[in-house]
Structure 1
Amino acid sequence: MSVQRLTIVVAAFDEARALPVLHPRIAAVMDVLAADGLEARVLYVDDGSGDATWEVMQGLAAGDARVALLRLSRNFGKEIALTAGLDLVTEGAAMILDADGQDPPELIPRFVAHWRAGFDDVHGTRLSRDGESWLKRSTAHLFYRVMQRLAKTPMPADTGDYRLLSERALAGLRQLRERHRFMKGLFGWVGFNRIAVPYARERRIAGRTKFGFWRLWNFALDGVTSFSTAPLRLATYVGVLTACGAFAFALYVIAKAMMYGDRVAGWPTMMAVILFLGGVQLVALGVIGEYLGRLYEESKQRPLYLVSAWHPAPGPGVLADR
């Protein structure tokens, strides 16, 4: 009987303070999994950090033979860093874990149990989000519901990257090489057997979040434009409704002139109509530009990322030489 293998993929950017706190928890979970007959490794991906994250990772690898390290040539963003890590997992399953410790590694055995039962995508669904503001919780709640309405790809609500993917789910994911990567949508697109693991999200264990509201807004735009053409359709509908409104207003002006004479209309009314129509046109052009820009990025066919350093785990392992 072949040995089951699991790679815990942790993408980090400027997490030098969090990783020394997180790794002992991961190591304890790997000990539990080993006792249950599962060969586990952890792969840390340094996404071009500007602090001592890489040095901290090297220290963790020196003290634990189950640690593999991957360093990207610069900061490519979390979605690309996750892709780089998952690309290296060619045997067994992969467990995605955030470096901030908000997703508890102690729940990994529950994910593994579902995987062993035959599920390909075991995803954590947040019941609560401790340590986050009311505004962030509300906007996140709204975002997931909007995405469910707009996208044809199934995306479970209140579900992030905290998940376990089987070998065939990873193989399917490796075939998706688009540049603007909205991983939550890509996980849903792959499909296969899925099940949720409800959990309470914890506070960040150290450091500060890298996702401010501006970055989250751009992240939401990437999600919508990557998996839905609804904004383009909405621009069409707004244009049609505006044209119908303008035609109705023109009929009203003509009828009024025929009945009461042609008196000069007021300047504010004319400017309001001109500015409204101009604004609608600019919004429609902006929506088209978002999609056109993504086509431009895809057409250049640049590699998703470049690797600066790769250190596989020294023990018998999940990860082979790159």
Structure 2
Amino acid sequence: MNKKRISLIAPFYNESGNVTEFFRRVAAIADSLSAYDIEVVAVNDGSRDNTWAELLEARARYSWVHLVDLSRNFGKEAALTAGLDRAQGDAVVPIDADLQHPPELLTEMLAQWEQGAEVVLARRTDRETDGRLQKFSATSFYRLHNLISHVEVPMDVGDFRLMDRRVVEALRRLPENHRFMKGLFAWVGFRTVTIPYVNAKRHAGTSSFNFWRLWNLAMEGITSFSTAPLKIWTYIGMAVSALALLYAGTTVIGTMIHGVDVPGYASLMAGGMFLGGVQLIGIGVLGEYVGRIYHEVKRRPVYLVREEYQPDNRPASAPSAAHERETA
């Protein structure tokens, strides 16, 4: 009887120091799950340190490692997409290489999957490893996104989850280049259960996600799944117009009763700058959506592969158009 295959997708970006421990812990879990055939799709997302060399060493040690080396740093969303395109498992699990996602949770995920769940979400029960600003910004983002979007992204749930093969095939049919994976995971749906886990500290190194990257990811999530930022400026315009009419009426009545006052340049300047700022913000919001349309219509591939090695330790052939995920 053939074993079910489980694919772990692990993006690596400057994770030197985490590679050896990551594969050691995954190997321990693979040994304990002898009823399954485990593979790891390790995607090197343009690392500038010794990550790729360490990945090659891991491939030489473990026969179930599938290595993908992207031509440059395309970002975690693209690296996850590259992994999804190559994962052959009956179930697929994206997991962080820094070991904040404990590989040992795979046992409980598989138990839920065997009971009929098509998606098993791992929800963080605490954010002790995050700073105050990161906690506040994450909570605010989830609340804002779910308030204005028709797709609800579960709170405190990242990319760490188990997905059935049919879920992965549904994700691979989504053509967009700008990919907010948490939103795409939520959009496809399917039968979902949630299990709790405690987010661990990084084994080594520091996170590459700074405030600017998190801000851009939040903007990506909001503009990918909601047009509310565009609609709200209609109401802002109506409110500003109503205030202007009210002020004009007040001025006319005051002039009729008290005569003509000498106009003040300070009030005119303040009003002009306020309206100019409102208009520029509105144009900026519109520009965010237009910019995303501009990038989508060019139909560039989400990522490019420089080098790839299959789990049987033989170098893969040159990446095909399907491997590079052209979205035309």
What does the per-residue CA deviation read over 1:116-138, in whole Å, with 9 as the maximum and x for residues that have no partner?
11111111111112322112112
Q: Which residue of 1 aligns with 2:3?
A: 3
* 1:267-310 alpha-carbon deviations (Å, 9 max, x no partner): 11111111111111001000000000000000101111111111
Show CA shifts across 1:191-222 (max 9, x none).
11111111111111100110111111111011
- What displacement does 1:91 show? 4.0
Say which SS state the counterpart of residue 216 (structure 1) adopts: helix
Measure, in 2, the Cα distance between the counterparts of 1:223 and 1:313.
34
Tell me, which stretches of 5 or more residues in structure 2 are unaligned?
314-318, 324-328
What is the rounded CA distance, in whole Å, between the counterparts of 1:275 and 1:165 in structure 2? Answer: 51
Q: After the TM superposition, which residues 108-123 of structure 1 pair with which residues of structure 2 at under 5 Å, given as runs? A: 108-123=106-121
Given the alignment, which residue of 225, 230, 242 partners 2:240?
242
> Which runs of structure 2 are paired with 1:94-109 in the superposition (5 Å)?
94-109=92-107
Q: Identify which of 288, 291, 294 aligns with 1:290.
A: 288
Residues 82-138 of structure 1, C-alpha deviation per residue, up to 9 Å, x if partnerless?
Answer: 000011124411111001111111111111111111111111111112322112112
Whether the aligned pair in 2 keeps the contact of 1:129 and 1:202 (CA below 8 Å) is no
2:57 counterpart of 1:59: yes
**How many pairs are equivalent?**
315
Q: Deviations over 1:23-53 (max 9, x none)?
A: 111111111112xx11111111000111111
Q: Does the aligned pair in 2 maintain the 1:68–1:312 contact within 8 Å?
A: yes
Secondary structure in 2 matching 1:98: coil
Once the two structures are superposed, the pairs formed by residues 1-322 of structure 1 within 5 Å of their partners are: 1-34=1-34, 37-314=35-312
Give the structure-1-normalised TM-score: 0.95
Q: Post-superposition shift, 1:177? A: 2.0
Moved beyond 3 Å, runs of 4+: none
Q: Which amino acid aligns with 1:19?
A: V
Match of 1:129, SS state, is coil
Q: Which residue of 1 aligns with 2:316?
A: none
Is contact 1:70-1:307 (8 Å) kept? yes
Deviation track 1:135-155 (CA, whole Å, cap 9, x = no partner) reads: 211211121111111111121
**Mean CA deviation greater in 138-147 or 94-103:** 138-147
Aligned partners of 2:204 and 2:96: how far apart in 1? 12
- Offset from partner CA, 1:65-86 (integer Å, 9 cap, x none): 1111011111100000000001
Kept in 2, the 8 Å contact 1:5–1:38? The answer is yes
Give the Å deviation of 1:2: 4.1
Amino acid of the residue matched to residue 210 of structure 2?
G
Contact 2:6 2:91 in 1 (8 A): yes
Q: How far did 1:3 drift?
A: 2.4
On the 8 A contact 2:145/2:152 being kept in 1, the answer is no
CA RMSD of aligned residues (A): 1.3
Q: Distance in 2 between matches of 1:233 and 1:170?
A: 33
Name stretches of at least 5 consecutive residues in structure 1 with no aligned partner. Answer: 316-320
Letter in 2 for 1:267: Y
What is the alpha-carbon distance in structure 2 between the residues aligned to residue 125 and residue 27 of structure 1?
Answer: 24
Distance in 1 (alpha carbons) for counterparts of 2:222 and 2:230: 11
Q: Secondary structure at the match of 2:301?
A: coil
What TM-score do the two structures reach when normalised by structure 2?
0.93
Partner of 1:318: none
Give the whole-Å Cα distance in 2 for the aligned partners of 1:211 and 1:243. 41
